[in-house]
Amino acid sequence: MTSGGAIAAVAAEQRVTVRYFAWVRERVGRSEEQVTIPPSVATVGEFARWLATRGPEYAEAFKRADVVRAALDQVHVKPSAPLAGAREVAFFPPVTGG
């Protein structure tokens, strides 16, 4: 244990597994990674916009932000969904199975 301030900062830190599928995965160049959510980010939509700032491959993947879909802990969600408590966030294009 460290000082009170450090404990508070650690407690506020939320790490998630981010998974990418189909052309989102190809553009990002990886299928999953561990990410610490910045304190300024509260929703799935804000998280996508923040990811897009991490490099040209992310900018490319999230360029069509209105098209990219999301799931929190393997359940479809809208961009307004809060990230608090989530362990896994996934981004993917609209599904085309069947």
- The footprint of another protein (CB under 8 A) covers 19, 21-23, 66, 69, 71, 74-76, 78-79, 90, 92-98
Of 59 and 75, nearer to another protein (C-beta) is 75
Of 9 and 22, nearer to another protein (C-beta) is 22
Beta strands in 27-81 (DSSP E): 32-37, 69-72, 75-77
CB of 80 to another protein, least distance (A): 9
Q: What 3-state DSSP class applies to 51?
A: helix
Q: Taking a C-beta distance cutoff of 8 angstroms, is the pair 90, 70 a contact? A: yes
Of 63 and 78, nearer to another protein (C-beta) is 78
CB of 21 to another protein, least distance (A): 6
Structure tokens at 43: 């929703």
Structure tokens at 3: 């000082």
